[in-house]
Copies of this chain bind each other. A is one copy, B any other.
Amino acid sequence: MNGLNQFAIKQTGDAEEACPDSQEVACAQCKLHGFLKFFEGSDLLSLNIFLSRRIPVAKGAILFDAVAPFRGIYAVKSGSFKSFSHQDPSGDQILGFSLPGELIGLDALHSSQYGYSTVALEASSVCWLPFEHLDVLGERMAFFQEQVIRILVDQVRHDHHQTLLVGRRTAEERLGAFLLNLSDRYRRHGFEGEAFRLPMLQNDMANYLGLSMETVSRTLRGFREQEVVSIQGKRLRILNEDCLRSIAHACRGGGDSAGPG
């Protein structure tokens, strides 16, 4: 899986790519970046044809629903999203949250439909890479696929972590690991890891972690009382990361990436 020739990576200080708004992820920090470099260097035109940049999505708006035909993948530019399946008579099940710099929809590849729905948790924006155009890329397909594989492998590993996380752990461990996971993901995409927004409802966290809303509330209170974190509205600050880490797992390495895709 190597020895494939590299296209020149254009390192620009494009105004477009700079981050005027600190809530946006820089293009260079986005997971989509790995895909884009294959467009650059030889045919910039195709990049602009294929990639739609910075599409606004209003809070509560549906990016796609479960039965929408697969139209390609999205990268979160700013804001955040939750993805959920609603095949459940007793209510929706949240599959994951997507933060700036992360991809949505990759796991619907080769499917006719996404299979889950994705909604903006706040005013957000995305970049869109429509896949039906990609087969015209011919020779670059292999490079492209290598990227896809790399990210899917990441995803599988993350999901294993998630499975470990949700199975048989106490509320404190789940929530602690969840907060550390968010912290890592923000940091990885160029944001501050110690202080960040919790864009989702406690209800959503509860759903995602397999807990009740009340338990989430009580557990967060516990964290506050132990002065492990401080919370003001939707803003969270990690005051004692070591402690949080030891609560989260008697010792496991921080979780990896994202929601679906």
Contact = CB atoms under 8 A, between A and B. Distances in A.
A85 interface: yes
B150 A149 contact: no
Given A90-B250, A149-B110, A95 B142 contact: no
Given A88-B250, A90-B252, A167-B209, 4 more contacts: A1-B110, A90-B251, A110-B146, A145-B148
Given A1-B134, A209-B167, A107 B162 contact: no
A199 interface: no
A153 interface: yes
A28 to B, nearest CB: 21
Q: Can you list the 6 inter-chain pairs with the closest CB atoms, starting with the nearest?
A: A167-B210, A168-B210, A159-B159, A90-B251, A152-B152, A87-B253
A169 B162 CA distance: 15
Interface in A81-120: 85, 87-91, 93, 95, 107-111, 115-116
A88 B251 contact: yes
Contacts of A131: 1
**How many A residues are at the interface, by size bracket?**
35 or more
Interface of A: 1-3, 85, 87-91, 93, 95, 107-111, 115-116, 131, 134-135, 141-142, 145-146, 148-150, 152-153, 155-157, 159-160, 162-164, 166-169, 209-211, 249-254, 260
Nearest to A109: B153
